[in-house]
Amino acid sequence: MDFFLSLLVKGLTLGCIYALVALGFVLIYKATSVINFAVGEMMMLAGFLVTGFAGATGLGLPLGAAIGLTMLIMVLFGFALERGVLRPMIGRPVVGMIMATLGLGIFLRGFAPVLWGTDKKPLDLMLPSQPLRLDTILVTPVDLTGVGLTLFLLVCFAYFFQRTRTGIAVRAVADDQQAAMAMGIRVSSVFALAWALAGITAVAGGVIWGSKLSVDQFLALMGLKVFPVVILGGLDSVAGAVIGGLVVGVTENLFGGYFDKYVGGGLKDFVPYVLMLAVLMIRPYGLFGREVIERV
pLDDT tens digits, one per residue of 214-251? 999 999 998 888 999 998 988 888 888 889 999 999 99
More confident residue, 263 or 214: 214
- Rounded Cα–Cα distance for residues 37 and 46 (Å): 16
110, pLDDT greater than 60: yes
Q: Does the CA dihedral 26-28-30-35 come out positive or negative?
A: negative
pTM of the model: 0.89
Q: What is the pLDDT of residues 166-194, one digit of tens each?
A: 888 888 887 777 788 888 888 888 888 88
Every domain of the chain and the residues it spans: 19-220
What mean pLDDT, rounded, does the chain reach?
A: 86
Q: Does the CA dihedral 76-78-82-85 come out positive or negative?
A: positive
Work out the angle between the directed axes of helices 39-53 and 94-116 (0-180°, nearest 10): 30
CA atoms within 13 A on the CB side of 61: 15
* The pLDDT of residue 75: 94
Helix segments in 82-140, DSSP class H: 94-116
Q: What is the pLDDT of residues 45-75, one digit of tens each?
A: 999 999 989 866 667 788 889 999 999 999 9
Strand locations in 103-151, DSSP E? 132-134, 137-139
Q: What are residue 137's phi and psi, to 5 degrees?
A: -100, 130
